[in-house]
């Protein structure tokens, strides 16, 4: 059986869009409600390529996890993991190294419900329903501690999540707290909305007004999440340009440069 932990009893709220379900909409999933689809329709007015952006994010997630496995990493703490979709972190990692261990952390109650079904037969993967803004609680969680050995390198994954933390919640301090808990040789993997296109302010206003979160930060701000760690080549770049399997020809579209990301290693 999969490791599970659920201190949350909150019901699924279908009156407001949720980050996890809205992301499911852009990934063409089925685990969403009308309110989530209406939100995405509003965003698509400003960013018609929003569906492609989600696909680029899932693609770099797969490339990044394979890269991390190649570096010898066998433990993954996937923070803000999202609803199960295709090529989830444990599937990518365990297809290369069946011994790889993955803990998914998400605060959306639907993620636990769907994760439980997906992981029923996998004892090297767990789902924790918790708020990643509380690193001390997550690092002390029994399911996390059972699956992750913090004396060995860990991949701390914050893929498509830090833009959902407001500046005054100190996302930089939260990243630092996780990275302080893992040893040298651990990695940090971040992807993030960027203010790299003319409509970014309007998009940010819509995200904040309807969803309540969604910061489009500068490349410098995104890069500063990696402070104290060594960025691996090619650094913090538009998602399709991070170690692509095929060359990305020509000038990047808005969708291609809307999110930036990278991976760094803890020295």
Q: Does 74 bind ligand SAM (CB under 6 A)?
A: no
| Contacting residue, 164, 187, 217, 257, with ligand SAM by CB under 6 A | 164
Is residue 49 classed as helix, strand or coil in its secondary structure?
Answer: coil
Residue ranges in 75-134 that form contacts with ligand SAM under rule CB under 6 A: 80-82, 105-108, 111, 131-133
HEC profile of 112-180: HHHHHHHHCCCCCEEEEECCCCCHHHHHHCHHHHHHCCCCCCCEEEEECCHHHCCHHHCHHHHHHHHHH
Q: Choose among 187, 218, 223: nearest CA to 200.
A: 218
CB closer to ligand SAM out of 20 and 156: 20
Residue 102, beta-bridge partner list: 76, 125
CB of 249 to ligand SAM, least distance (A): 25
Q: Which stretch binds ligand SAM (CB under 6 A): 158-166, 193-201, 214-222, 245-253?
A: 158-166
64 or 153: CB nearest ligand SAM:
64
Our finding on whether 221 is near ligand SAM (CB under 6 A) is: no
CB of 18 to ligand SAM, least distance (A): 6
Q: Decide if residue 19 touches ligand SAM (CB under 6 A).
A: yes
What residues numbered 30-69 form the site for ligand SAM, per CB under 6 A?
57-58, 61
| Beta-strand runs (E) in the chain | 3-6, 75-79, 101-106, 125-129, 155-159, 187-193, 230-231, 237-238, 259-265
- Give the three-state DSSP class for 34: helix
Contacts with ligand SAM, residue ranges (CB under 6 A): 19-20, 23, 57-58, 61, 80-82, 105-108, 111, 131-133, 159-161, 164
């Amino acid at each position: 059986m999969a490791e599970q932990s659920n201190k949350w009893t909150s019901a699924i709220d279908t009156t407001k869009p949720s980050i996890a379900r809205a992301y499911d909409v852009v990934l063409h999933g089925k685990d969403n409600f009308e309110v989530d689809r209406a939100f995405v329709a509003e965003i698509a007015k400003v960013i018609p390529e929003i569906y492609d952006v989600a696909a680029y994010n899932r693609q770099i997630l797969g490339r990044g996890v394979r890269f991390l496995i190649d570096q010898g990493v066998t433990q993954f703490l996937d923070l803000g993991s999202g609803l199960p979709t295709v090529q989830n972190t444990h599937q990518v990692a365990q297809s290369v190294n069946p011994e790889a261990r993955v803990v998914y952390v998400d605060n959306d109650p639907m993620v636990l419900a769907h994760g439980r079904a997906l992981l029923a037969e996998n004892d090297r993967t767990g789902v924790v329903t918790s708020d990643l803004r509380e690193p001390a609680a997550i690092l002390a969680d029994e399911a996390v501690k059972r699956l992750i050995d913090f004396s060995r390198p860990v991949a701390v994954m914050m893929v498509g999540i830090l833009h959902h933390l407001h500046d005054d919640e100190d996302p930089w301090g939260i990243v630092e707290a996780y990275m302080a808990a893992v040893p040298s040789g651990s990695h940090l993997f971040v992807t993030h909305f960027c203010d790299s296109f003319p409509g970014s302010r309007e998009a940010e206003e819509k995200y904040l007004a309807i969803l309540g979160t969604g910061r489009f930060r500068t490349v410098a701000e995104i890069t500063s999440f990696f402070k104290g760690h060594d960025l691996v080549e090619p650094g913090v770049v538009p998602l399709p340009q991070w170690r692509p399997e095929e060359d990305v020809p020509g000038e990047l579209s808005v969708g291609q440069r809307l999110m930036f990301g990278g991976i760094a290693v803890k020295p």
